[in-house]
Amino acid sequence: MVGKVYLVGAGPGDPELITVKGLRYLQQADVILYDRLVNPELLKHSKKGAQLVYCGKLPHYHTMKQETINHFLVKYAKKGLQVVRLKGGDPFVFGRGGEEAEECLRNEVPFEVVPGITAGIAASAYAGIPVTHRFLSRSFAFITGHQAGDLAAEHQWSHLAKGVDTLCVYMGVSHLSTIINQLIQHGKSPQTPIALIQWGTLSDQRTVVGTLETIEERVKVAGVSNPSMIVIGEVVRLHKELNWFHEEIIPSLPILHG
């Protein structure tokens, strides 16, 4: 008898942001394969005797290769177990959930996807930055910072700079300089507001705000590093007045409305 794999989004960090369905499957699972950015508090909801398997990945260092994770999902399910693949944010937003679903399909293992709140929306919201706004942003895009050094993605920068109002960049801190240069070279104003939100939705969340031409120095002074969400666009101007979440706000120069 084959079990089932549940690809569950754990949300961006705050353990209370997991969905009701995701929490229910987590409580019922026989095996939980979880990522580095999953809040450990969530694992306390696992049932007695559940097997917990750490699959965490660091930049440039993978505790477990994706192929190995795929293998374990199939292996445990074919033993008749209920398997939860607990992923930070949403499984299908830069989470390789699509690859894991394909692996289940190839091996005739039933699977279900439980969406989660992704950091691009949640970290921004906790910093008082709406990704859309009737007067400031009618479009947004999620991109990965890893594409910054990918020559095959060069053609995308013109569209991103000119055709999208708000950019939410995942895993982009180490490529911040390249991202800024590409956007400016392809037509984005150096005065465009930008924010980096470190540890979004958690108690130690910090936000540093500037413009494309000033942010690198401010990030350096503040010591902001991964994990951080980068948000670029006019909506960042709302951070100061809409910031409702108690956090350590990095001092910055005022951004004047032009």
What is the rounded CA–CA span in Å between residue 142 and residue 144? 7
156 CA to centre of own chain: 20
Active site positions, annotated: 35, 57, 171
Q: In the 8-state DSSP scheme, what is residue 148? A: G
User: Tokens at residue 229, please?
Assistant: 């969400």
Please choose, from the candidates 122, 127, 128, 112, the residue with its C-alpha nearest in 3D space to the C-alpha of residue 142: 122
Contact 255, 229 (CB under 8 A): no
Give Cα separations from 41 to 23, 38, 143 (angstroms). 12, 9, 28
Please choose, from the candidates 118, 226, 136, the residue with its C-alpha nearest in 3D space to the C-alpha of residue 172: 226
Contact 219, 251 (CB under 8 A): no
